[in-house]
A and B are shown apart, each in its own frame.
Chain A
Amino acid sequence: VTVADRRAVVLVIDDDEDVRELLRYLLERAGYAVRTAVHGRDGLDSVADTMPDLILLDLKMPVMDGKAFAAEFLSRYGRATPIVVVTAADDARKRAAEIGAADWLAKPFEADGLTRVVAAHLPAVDAGVGSGRR
């Protein structure tokens, strides 16, 4: 098992390519492995293929939105893999709680805010990644 194989995997589900690539850039720089999906349906296909360690989920998306994805995901796989909602909604906290997400990150976010929230839900996976509470 190589060091690279032991990196925690984050699945980013967001329909906006620029946001997806920004998240990928920031997360990879922080030491995570990143996979992406363009909407909820795509995300379900991705997790069926390989279960990530954490999911960053946008809410407003075409085809299948974040809420529908979360419902389907939780019913299939339970809560073992945390979902962090990344949303521009003004009531982000409430929305995250409603769909059963572990945490939330409001857009626009800052790099350290992103890494803090991700690390908080991946405490044991990779010691090299900074951890801390939000």
Chain B
Amino acid sequence: MEHHPHTEPEPAEPRSSLAGIVTALAEDLAASFAQAPFGIAVLRGPDLIYEYVNPVYQGFAPGVRLLGKPFATANWEMPEIIARLREVWATGRPWRADDLVVPIQRTRRGPLERAYFTFNCLKVRTGTPPDALIGFVIETTERMRACERLANAFGDAKERAAELESVIETMLEGVAVFDRSRRITLINEAARRQIRSAGVEPELFERAEELIERLRVRLPDGRPMTVDLLPLNRALAGEASRVTVQFWNHETNRAGHASIGAAPIEREGRIVGAVVVGSDISEMTELDRLKDDLIRVTAHELKTPVTILKGYASALTEALGPSLAPEHRRMLEAIDRGAERINRIMSELLDAQQIELGSFELVCGPVALDALVADKVARVAARSPKHRVRVIASQPLSVNADGERLREVLRILLDNAVRYSPAGGDVDVTVSARPGFAVVSVRDHGVGIPPDRRERLFQRFYRAHTGTPYDYGGTGLGLFVARTVLERHGGTLRFESNDDAGSTFVFELPREPQP
């Protein structure tokens, strides 16, 4: 065998170079397998024994020993995959599956997880039998989870959108959504109904000028509606607003009222459209009008009988004069007071109504405030025998004011002072001046105003003594009317009150004529 070394290199050389290439290729392949970003496994023989796994593959189940074990043993939890691989072995046909859900236990005592894998498996002949399966495996769990989340979110969003849509659809108010170019992108049944019942087609809402013209849209005070006042236009300019308008209903051939509001829809700081909400308030407006008529007519109709009661009671008192027995005089005075109360209730209701309707007007002229106060105080004093109602300080002061309304204010303040001093006592009135203003105060020593009720004292129909022992009745409109009258003059009305020591009401009027 010693001579062999001299002769061997000749025939051996081509073989050894091929082997070298194969070895080099195998080494390259092994290196690429080791660095591959996907899992690679080689399963040998009919029992599919793990012969090779690359680090990524081992990473799928870091806590499980694979090499040398049959696939079915190492992966008992995935019977479906086991069956597939056996099929590949038996038929030799490659198998490929994308994003397959696979149960997997990644560590020996770990939980069974649901994971996603993409498989690519083929049978290969190897130099030495038996044959083997080579599998390329990519885990797609993360991607699929992201997809799932997206799908769920989308599903939720769709569900919520559907919910929202059914809410909008069944709302009693009409809702329409417009895009920036004023096209309707959503409109609910109520809006369609309102539009139909007004006798116009929904598309008209996309053409504001025409709509205003066709429906003869006007502001509540009768002024014509302008395009820039439309809530939709203001919303598209970025401003939420609400208006009440009159319109002509072409179906009923009558004027109707609608309340229309709109708000911009913004996305990432940009106005992308507007939502408009409208309701037909014709019926409500009509009921309101009936209520106003009822108050006006009732007040008007009651004034004549009140005139008769008061007139004859005082005529009798005067006519009988000294021959009238004191108790009969008191009876006649009671008739007069009762009639006067009816009169005041109706006056306060009418005033409050005029204020509400915006038809409350002042007729101003020069008024001698001190004389007016003295006169009113004398009148209240004359019919309040239990009280000492008096002016304790005064000075000549002229104001530019509505004398009738000022009398009403004083009457309200003095009546309250007397009413809420049930035990009698002093009601002290002062007339004074500070720069630019005339100041009148009315102080009583009565029951005061409970602290928790002071805040609401000037609200309409609010009566601070409701439910207290000092509930002496009244409309709850007096102070509301008084304050409004003073504010319309550019003045103020305020009060101070001690719980048991009475209240002081102070009003101020500007001495210069108001513009």
B354 touches A108 (CB 8 A): no
Residues of A within 8 A of B306 (CB): 107-108
B307 touches A108 (CB 8 A): yes
Among candidates B304, B318, B363, residue contacting A19 with C-beta atoms closer than 8 Å: B304
Flag the segment in A34-42, A73-81, A86-94 that touches B.
A86-94
With A88-B300, A90-B300 given, is the CB distance from A109 to B307 under 8 Å?
yes
Bound: A16/B303 CA distance, A: 12
Among candidates B304, B314, B354, B363, residue contacting A90 with C-beta atoms closer than 8 Å: B354
Among candidates A22, A26, A107, A111, residue contacting B303 with C-beta atoms closer than 8 Å: A107
Q: How far is the CB of A96 from chain B (nearest CB, A)?
A: 11
Residues of A within 8 A of B300 (CB): 60, 88-90
Residues of B within 8 A of A60 (CB): 300
With A16-B304, A93-B363 given, is the CB distance from A108 to B343 under 8 Å?
yes
Q: Determine if A110 is an interface residue (Cβ-Cβ < 8 Å).
A: yes
User: Chain B binding site: helix, strand, loop or mixed by DSSP?
Assistant: helix
With A18-B308, A19-B304, A22-B307 given, is the CB distance from A110 to B314 under 8 Å?
yes
B304 touches A88 (CB 8 A): yes
Residues of A within 8 A of B329 (CB): none
Bound: A64/B301 CA distance, A: 18
Hey, what's the 0/1 contact readout for B281-317 against A, CB within 8 Å counting as 1? 0000000000000001001110110111011101100
Q: B residues 310-348 with Cβ under 8 Å of A?
A: 310-312, 314-315, 318, 339, 343
* Total residues of chain A contacting the partner, CB 8 A: 17
Q: Which residue of B lies closest to A90 (CB)?
A: B350
Residues of B within 8 A of A18 (CB): 308, 312
Hey, what's the 0/1 contact readout for B394-434 against A, CB within 8 Å counting as 1? 00000000000000000000000000000000000000000
B304 touches A107 (CB 8 A): yes
Among candidates A19, A90, A94, residue contacting B307 with C-beta atoms closer than 8 Å: A19
Bound: A129/B506 CA distance, A: 40
Interface size class on chain B is: 20 to 34
Among candidates A22, A88, A109, residue contacting B312 with C-beta atoms closer than 8 Å: A22
Q: B residues 4-35 with Cβ under 8 Å of A?
A: none
A108 touches B315 (CB 8 A): no
Hey, what's the 0/1 contact readout for B90-102 against A, CB within 8 Å counting as 1? 0000000000000
Q: Which residue of A lies closest to B379 (CB)?
A: A110
B350 touches A26 (CB 8 A): no
Bound: A109/B314 CA distance, A: 11
A90 touches B299 (CB 8 A): yes
Q: How far is the CB of A26 from chain B (nearest CB, A)?
A: 7
Among candidates B311, B343, B363, residue contacting A22 with C-beta atoms closer than 8 Å: B311
Bound: A5/B457 CA distance, A: 58
With A16-B304, A108-B339, A111-B318 given, is the CB distance from A26 to B354 under 8 Å?
no
Q: A residues 3-32 with Cβ under 8 Å of B?
A: 16, 18-19, 22, 25-26
Bound: A93/B318 CA distance, A: 29
Residues of A within 8 A of B304 (CB): 16, 19, 88, 107
A22 touches B308 (CB 8 A): yes
Residues of B within 8 A of A93 (CB): 363
With A110-B314, A111-B315 given, is the CB distance from A88 to B303 under 8 Å?
yes
Bound: A93/B306 CA distance, A: 20
Bound: A22/B299 CA distance, A: 21
Residues of A within 8 A of B354 (CB): 90
B311 touches A26 (CB 8 A): yes
Residues of A within 8 A of B363 (CB): 93
Hey, what's the 0/1 contact readout for A68-106 against B, CB within 8 Å counting as 1? 000000000000000000001110011000000000000
Q: Which residue of A lies closest to B303 (CB)?
A: A88
Residues of B within 8 A of A108 (CB): 303, 306-307, 310-311, 339, 343
Q: How far is the CB of B378 from chain A (nearest CB, A)?
A: 13
Residues of B within 8 A of A19 (CB): 304, 307-308, 311
> Which of B300, B301, B339, B350 is the most central at the interface, judged by chain A CB atoms within 10 Å of its CB?
B300
B315 touches A22 (CB 8 A): yes
Q: How far is the CB of B362 from chain A (nearest CB, A)?
A: 11
Q: How far is the CB of B299 from chain A (nearest CB, A)?
A: 7
Q: How far is the CB of A92 from chain B (nearest CB, A)?
A: 10
A107 touches B307 (CB 8 A): yes
Residues of B within 8 A of A25 (CB): 315
> Which of B303, B314, B363 is the most central at the interface, judged by chain A CB atoms within 10 Å of its CB?
B303
B307 touches A111 (CB 8 A): no
Residues of B within 8 A of A22 (CB): 307-308, 311-312, 315
Between A and B, 24 residue pairs with Cβ closer than 8 Å are A18-B308, A18-B312, A19-B304, A19-B307, A19-B308, A22-B307, A22-B308, A22-B315, A60-B300, A88-B299, A88-B300, A89-B300, A90-B300, A90-B354, A94-B361, A107-B303, A107-B304, A107-B307, A108-B303, A108-B339, A109-B311, A110-B310, A110-B314, A111-B315
Interface residues of A (CB under 8 A from B): 16, 18-19, 22, 25-26, 60, 88-90, 93-94, 107-111
Given contact pairs A16-B308, A60-B300, A88-B304, a sample of 20 additional A-B residue pairs in the complex whose CB atoms are under 8 Å apart:
A16-B304, A18-B308, A19-B304, A19-B308, A22-B311, A22-B312, A22-B315, A25-B315, A26-B311, A88-B300, A90-B299, A94-B361, A107-B307, A108-B303, A108-B307, A108-B311, A108-B339, A110-B310, A111-B311, A111-B314
Nearest 7 A/B pairs, CB to CB = A88-B303, A108-B307, A22-B311, A107-B307, A18-B308, A107-B303, A90-B350
